[in-house]
Amino acid sequence: MNSGHQDRRVIPRDKDGFYRFIVTVNFISWLVLIGALIVFHFARPEMVTGLQTYWGIEGRTTWSDEHVDMLVVLLQICLGMALVTMLLRSRRNRREADNYGVNLFILAGISMVSLVTLNVTVA
């Protein structure tokens, strides 16, 4: 029955191309979340201190629409990538040493909570 292919359950995970792909997508989705955090910094209202008010320096007290739109897109991409990766891992885990990847649940949770909070706060 063996047609020259090695059983993928005995191949080490770091040699499996599909596993490498999943790890790469997972890494990229975490980078997208870091990018979303950077965009969040520029999207939120600025804190206007008493000294700024005294000297007449104006600060933005509302959310930046352009940055909020970009933030929503980045969070949606992050959530989508996390969910797809979770689905792929659930279909592929067959080795005894395979774990499900708690970081994906954390990533999806952070993305969902951020989207809901952003929707409630900005809208």
pTM exceeds 0.85 = no
Residue 5 lies in a domain: no
Side-chain half-sphere exposure of 29, counting CA atoms within 13 A: 27
- For the stretch 27-44, pLDDT in tens is 999 999 999 999 999 998
Count how many domains the chain has. Answer: 1
Q: How far, in Å, CA of 80 to CA of 3, rounded?
A: 37
Neighbours of 48 (CB within 10 A): 13
Backbone angles phi, psi at 27, to 5 degrees: -60, -45
User: 115 with 76: CB under 8 angstroms?
Assistant: yes
pLDDT digits (tens, 9 = 90+) for 51-70: 777 888 787 778 889 999 99
**Domain encompassing residue 116:** 13-122
Residue 7 inside a domain? The answer is no
